[in-house]
Amino acid sequence: MSTNAPVAAPAKVVKTFRVLRFDPAKDKAPRWHEFKLPCDPMERVLTALNRIKWEQDGSMTYRRSCGHAVCGSCGMTIQGASRLACKTLVKDIEGDVIEVQPLKGFPVIKDLVVDMEHFYHNLRSVQPYLITSSPKPVKERRQSPEQFDLIDDASKCILCGCCTSSCPSFWKNDSYLGPAALLKAWRFIGDSRDEAKSERIDAVNGRNGVWRCHTIFNCKEACPKEIDIPAALSQLKRAVVFGSVA
């Protein structure tokens, strides 16, 4: 018997996408728009939004680029949770209605596009790059696999903002650096090659730094790269207390 029999395509399901829209040029307040769309259950929410934009309403606005959970542009609130639209499958959302809103806690520019300036400001404040003062080596600043292991998880961050948008401490006080900036601070404090550790530790030890994290774990659930952010922030707290990487 042939094993090459054609496999039937999965049946399409009609979903209603409820999208929270806001156009500052026209609207006084955000409003819900509904779009019906037959979807393949394995289709990504981003693909569905693209089809809505291209086939039903070209004015719907959102960010996207890579489509493969690499660029971090398509963070949004899908069915109440911060997620990447390009990593969320239609079949992963229960029910006939898929609710899409901008990332929580960020000012809205238009529809699903939020203003990330404050997020980047916080990121810049932790100096997200290697700082060294010792003479340049002939070739490169080397790191052993064991040394890299300490920051491997934190190095996977794509700066999508989903963690910061899910953090109750950030909702209460947007001066809080937030999980993404603190994770980045840890990524360099934990880096065996970095030579600015005490300066970095001072930067996260202020009123709006790492002590505002109450280990609520929302950030870990939201992270599309499955980074254990609370564990990294615990290591960061230890580094602040002991003045060095334990």
- Residues 187-226, one symbol each (x = binds ligand SF4 by CB under 6 A, - = not), give --------------------------xxxxxxx--xxxx-
Amino acid type, 190: G
- Residues 29-68, one symbol each (x = binds ligand FES by CB under 6 A, - = not), give -----------------------------------xxxx-
Which residues in the 120-159 window bind ligand SF4 by CB under 6 A? 157-159
Exactly one of 39, 48, 62, 73 binds ligand FES (CB under 6 A); which one?
Answer: 73
How far is residue 246's CA from residue 238's CA, in Å, rounded to a whole number?
A: 7
How far is residue 66's CA from residue 52's CA, in Å, rounded to a whole number?
A: 18
Which residues in the 179-208 window bind ligand FES by CB under 6 A? none
Q: Is 163 in the site for ligand SF4 (CB under 6 A)?
A: yes
Q: Is 69 in the site for ligand FES (CB under 6 A)?
A: yes
Task: Give every CB contact of residue 110 below 8 A, 6+ residues apart in sequence.
Answer: 22, 23, 24, 61
Exactly one of 105, 179, 190, 209 binds ligand SF4 (CB under 6 A); which one?
Answer: 179
Name the percent of the chain in helix, strand, coil, to the closest 5: 35, 15, 50
180: enclosing H helix or E strand: helix 178-189
Q: Is 16 in the site for ligand FES (CB under 6 A)?
A: no
Chosen from ligand SF4, ligand FES, none, partner binding at 65 (C-beta under 5 to 8 Å by type): ligand FES
Residue 209, Cβ density class (10 Å: 0-12 exposed, 13-18 middle, ≥19 buried): buried
DSSP state letter for 44: B
- Shortest spacing between CB 160 and ligand FES, in angstroms: 6
Q: CA angle at residue 122 from 20 to 145, to 5 degrees? A: 110
Q: Is 113 in the site for ligand FES (CB under 6 A)?
A: no
Tell me how many residues contact ligand SF4 (CB under 6 A). 28
Task: Give the residue with the Cβ less far from ligand FES, 19 or 86.
Answer: 86
Q: Is 226 in the site for ligand FES (CB under 6 A)?
A: no
> Tokens 């005490």 identify what position?
198
Which strand ranges, in their side-by-side order, compose the sheet holding 75-78?
A: 31-39, 13-21, 97-101, 75-78, 81-84
Footprint of ligand FES on this chain (CB under 6 A)?
Answer: 64-67, 69-74, 84, 86
